Amino acid sequence: MEGGVEWQGPWVRAQGLRGGTTLESRRGCRGLRQGETSMGLGRNGAEKWRSGEGAAGGISEGGGCESTTDRRRQRIVGGIAGIQRAREKYCVAALSWAGLLPELQALILSRLEVADYLRFGAVCRSWCSTVAERPCLPKPQIPWRMLSDSTRDPDTRRFFSRPDQKMYKIHLPEIHSRLCIGSSEGWLITADELSELHALNPLTGASLALPSVATFFDVAGVVRDSDGRITDYVIGYDNLGEVPYEVEHMRVYYYLKAILDHSSAAVAVIHGEFNNLSFAHAGDESWTALQPPVPRIFWDIIFRKGLLHAMAISGALVVFDLDAPGSPVVVTCVERPHSQKWEQRGCCFNQKYLVESPDGKDLFQVWRDSRWLPVDGNRSRESVLPRDARMTVAFAIFKLDERRNEWSAVKDLGDLALFLGLNHSMALSTREFPELTSSSIYFTDDYRDGTK
């Protein structure tokens, strides 16, 4: 894409303080060694030698007895000494960076922006090994947006960085042709061609093994062709019995959202025709269904304070403790916010999100009204044309009072900026990130219409 930046470019050029200094130092050491084999002189000494200084000079004007040979010998000795000093300077610089303790390298990694984190491994082999062997997630920062895999290289994904307004391309063959159904804490949750789920950290390359889709409680079985390949999954319904769905249909429509809690290696998924909720820890053999006391159609989930918070389509909140002895338990339930005034205004909130404040003290739920609108601005006609656009027309925000277990409307977010989408929705402080606009909402087009 025009204006994009290929990662190979910055790696080769080692742009920035961390890469440029080290690579130039190593290149300088090699150059000095090559120079020694030819003339045994530093660059300045060689230039002076070529200019004829000493070669054409005989006895000094003062009539001293110093011969031309002695003067040449002194210049050669001085040149060699200069080479040694420069050699020590450059080589020590290279060794001091390449030989930096892994603990210090990890500390540096944890303080880098995402772009510099990726460049870090290109500095030298030692630093590349640190990224591979001691992966450290970068500090909290403005999230990048991953775009669809529409590049010429199917193994490459494009990412848009808001801070520097650039498009980056990252080689990610692990998610080739996969559908992304969620992201959280730097991890991507994707569905492959067989609807199987995978968790990948694109920065560190780490991955988690997740149970098969066939182990969800509502998947009654699989259908295979004569070659043994899976063609359909059979979904069991209480009122319809067992209904087969093609693999591609499952991949696109079965999953609504998935998130990961890095500290416990737990993945939670909203799935199925009725937005059921299940979870699994990395290494589990099957998915575990989460059943609240009252059946709910879930719409969004986040991990907060070690607990799974799940919001129903109505706005009601159910909190699960996945690590409770024996089996998961429901910790608390909070009824939906009062929204009569919004309904009176004709708002139809068809998307809802849970967001935690940066300090972890507050929990918000955000309601979003998005509609198909005619691109010609004529709202009197029904929006049915192919070029009509889905537009967001309103938001409503509510804050949880955890002592009273009730929601209250929020008119101003103060110094917060919210990021909503299929990702683990998040909030950032505009005091820490002044490039963001206070009391604003940044959102993606996460309407699912069957396309990637």
Read off the pLDDT band of 4 (50, 70, 90): very low
Q: Which residue has the higher pLDDT, 84 or 394?
A: 394
Query: In the predicted model, what is the mean pLDDT of residues 3-28?
Result: 27
Closest CA to 396 of 358, 438, 339, 356: 339
| 23 has pLDDT over 60 | no
Mean pLDDT of the chain: 75
Q: Where are the domains of the chain?
A: 4-98, 143-171
| 71 has pLDDT over 90 | no
Spell out a b/e string for 422-439, using b for 16 or more CB atoms within 10 Å of the CB, else e.
bbbbbbbbbeebeebeee
DSSP strand pairing (440-443 vs 416-420): parallel
Closest CA to 296 of 308, 309, 310, 307: 310
| Pairwise CA distance, residues 126 & 64, whole Å | 56
Read off the pLDDT band of 110 (50, 70, 90): confident
Closest CA to 115 of 38, 200, 16, 196: 16
In three-state secondary structure terms, 297 is: coil
In three-state secondary structure terms, 103 is: helix
Q: Check residue 220 and give its pLDDT.
A: 93
Query: In the predicted model, what is the mean pLDDT of residues 312-336?
Result: 91
- Compute CA distances 324 → 16, 76, 306, 320, 331, whole Å: 48, 78, 11, 9, 10
| Pairwise CA distance, residues 409 & 339, whole Å | 9
| 139 has pLDDT over 60 | yes
Q: Check residue 325 and give its pLDDT.
A: 86
Closest CA to 41 of 69, 83, 88, 91: 83
Using N-to-C axis directions, what is the helix angle for 102-109 and 125-133, rounded to 10°?
70
Residue 337, token pair as written in the block: 């916010």
Residues 6+ apart with CB under 8 A from 336: 312, 314, 315, 316, 407
Read off the pLDDT band of 111 (50, 70, 90): confident
| Pairwise CA distance, residues 301 & 354, whole Å | 7
Query: In the predicted model, what is the mean pLDDT of residues 110-115?
Result: 78
| Pairwise CA distance, residues 250 & 246, whole Å | 6
| 87 has pLDDT over 60 | no
Instruction: Provide the 8-state DSSP code for 408.
Output: E
Q: Check residue 231 and give its pLDDT.
A: 94
- Count of helices and strands (H, E) across the chain: 9, 26
| 94 has pLDDT over 50 | no
Q: Check residue 299 and give its pLDDT.
A: 93
| Pairwise CA distance, residues 15 & 329, whole Å | 51
Q: Check residue 77 and give its pLDDT.
A: 57
Region for residue 16 given its phi and psi (left: phi exceeds 0; alpha: psi -120 to 50; beta: otherwise): left
How many other C-beta atoms lie within 10 A of the C-beta of residue 441? 20
**Model pTM?**
0.73
Q: Check residue 53 and give its pLDDT.
A: 38
In three-state secondary structure terms, 82 is: helix
Closest CA to 365 of 398, 404, 324, 409: 398
- Bridge partners of residue 397, in order along the sequence: 366, 410
Sign of CA dihedral 340, 343, 345, 351: positive
- Compute CA distances 337 → 52, 397, 405, whole Å: 90, 10, 10
| Pairwise CA distance, residues 301 & 257, whole Å | 8
Tens-place pLDDT, residues 409-450: 999 999 999 999 888 899 999 999 998 999 999 888 776 554
Q: Check residue 86 and give its pLDDT.
A: 58
Q: Check residue 221 and give its pLDDT.
A: 93
